Amino acid sequence: MNHKPFSPADNIQDLQYFGEFGGVNPSISDSSTYTFLSAKTMFDTFEGNAEGCYLYSRHSSPMNLYLGQALAAMEGTEAANVCASGMGAITTVLLQLCMGGGHIVSARTIYGGTYAFMKNFLPGLGITTTFVDITKADVVEAAITPKTTVLYCETVSNPLLEVADIEALAKIAKKHNLKLVVDNTFSPLSVSPAKMGADVVIHSLTKFINGSSDTVGGVVCGTQLFIDDLRNVNNGAAMLLGPTMDSLRSASILKNLRTLHIRMKQHSYNAQYLAERFEQDGLKVVYPGLESHPSHNLYKGMINPEYGFGGMMTVDVGSLDKANELMELMQHRNLGYLAVSLGFYKTLFSAPGTSTSSEIPMDEQKEMGLSNGLIRFSIGLDNDIRRTYKMMRTCMQDLGILKEALSTL
């Protein structure tokens, strides 16, 4: 038997596409519509059974299929459908799986946009959501009702960096005949949710995968059957709602995907270094690579160790005022940018309670442990992280943050 471990970066590298004229990159198809040599083939394509024929670019296009193939290879799924944004991927999946009304059991610490969609938008369509602490299997199972169709989580949650036990959740999903949908945006290559039993894996390509903060994009990875459902001309959410990525953009994302493995290693190396030092300095750091993280051992068993524990970490500096002062000073000293989003070459920081998670009401933020002084860091690709650490430490000393942290030790 062949027990070759699953290697997402090798799977991407093994795919070979040539351009129309022998180019080392595939040619970009600059067309919204495609001709047919016979009218009969056009009819067959509408019926969904003309393999290899293109019809219209909202349905599929050569470059979107190339990028989709590469991302399916990365996640180890049969197929994938790229979308114009991560939210385009998330909303089409949920609408497809909850057609005709339904119930979702979701992690309560998730991306603010996903939370708002479930909480405020879906109830208008008869689809309701129960938000739970995803780290507690009994709580998750107790929330399942006869109407439940979807179990939803993020591998590593935004912004609190809670870890979902995907294998355990997949067992629960199977037992109750639910689809387990996992947003893997924070941990590409590190974690392969489909290999642990997830039915659908979603990414916002906007973040690490594209990595250059120049576009939004998304992808849905799943079975060929599910991807075909999403693209169905009669009732497919991706086809009918139309969050289609442009071919020029999918070409540029495919090129950036080529360096993802190198970038993820550097993001993780830098974040692990900073998290360890800041923790020693007495700061309240949350990073899955620290032994103090409640799910450190679980996550250690889930990751492909080559890629480490990822580039995301949080530091709680006590109050929103301090957080804002620190972020402004770090930006002033060119240590990163005060910006939302993640996965850029430069470190990005924001205070999620008043930005990316502001959709979540204050009392709920408090309950889930999202405090005002929390800063979310997406650690960059800094060449010399020791130098960065010293400069960040100086910023904290200058603002009296480090002295306070040390005195509470």
Which spans in 14-51 are helix H?
A: 39-46
Using rule CB under 6 A, residue 185 touches ligand PLP: yes
**Cβ proximity to ligand PLP, 154 vs 162, nearer residue:** 154
Q: Which of 71, 80, 87, 230 binds ligand PLP (CB under 6 A)?
A: 87
Least CB distance to ligand PLP at residue 310 (A): 12
Least CB distance to ligand PLP at residue 132 (A): 18
**Cβ proximity to ligand PLP, 63 vs 312, nearer residue:** 312
Least CB distance to ligand PLP at residue 184 (A): 8
Size of the residue set binding ligand PLP (CB under 6 A): 15
Contact 277, 235 (CB under 8 A): no
Q: Which of 45, 57, 61, 206 binds ligand PLP (CB under 6 A)?
A: 206
Using rule CB under 6 A, residue 154 touches ligand PLP: yes
Residue number with the shortest CB distance to ligand PLP? 86
Using rule CB under 6 A, residue 376 touches ligand PLP: no
Least CB distance to ligand PLP at residue 153 (A): 11
Contact 29, 201 (CB under 8 A): no
**Cβ proximity to ligand PLP, 72 vs 253, nearer residue:** 253
Rounded Cα–Cα distance for residues 101 and 149 (Å): 9
Rounded Cα–Cα distance for residues 217 and 90 (Å): 11
Residue 142 token pair: 């107790």
Residue 236 token pair: 């497919």
Taking the CA atoms of the chain, what radius of gyration do you get in angstroms?
Answer: 22
Closest to 43 (Cα-Cα) out of 58, 30, 53: 53
> For ligand PLP, which stretch binds (CB under 6 A), given 80-88, 100-108, 161-169, 364-372?
80-88
Using rule CB under 6 A, residue 162 touches ligand PLP: no
Using rule CB under 6 A, residue 183 touches ligand PLP: yes
> For ligand PLP, which stretch binds (CB under 6 A), given 7-15, 85-93, 259-267, 369-377?
85-93
| Omega within 30 of 0 (cis) for the link into 159 | yes
**Cβ proximity to ligand PLP, 219 vs 315, nearer residue:** 219
The 3-state secondary structure of 223-244 reads CHHHHHHHHCCCCCHHHHHCCC
Least CB distance to ligand PLP at residue 208 (A): 9
Q: DSSP characters for 346-405? A: S-EEE-GGGTTTTTS-HHHHHHTT--TTEEEEE----S-HHHHHHHHHHHHHHTTHHHHH
Least CB distance to ligand PLP at residue 225 (A): 24
What mask, x for binding ligand PLP by CB under 6 A, covers residues 106 to 145? -----x-xx-------------------------------
Q: What is the number of other CB atoms lying within 10 angstroms of the CB of residue 383?
A: 9
Contact 53, 41 (CB under 8 A): yes
Q: Which of 159, 188, 218, 373 binds ligand PLP (CB under 6 A)?
A: 218
Rounded Cα–Cα distance for residues 311 and 344 (Å): 10
**Interface contacts to ligand PLP, rule CB under 6 A:** 85-87, 111, 113-114, 154, 158, 183, 185, 204, 206-207, 216, 218
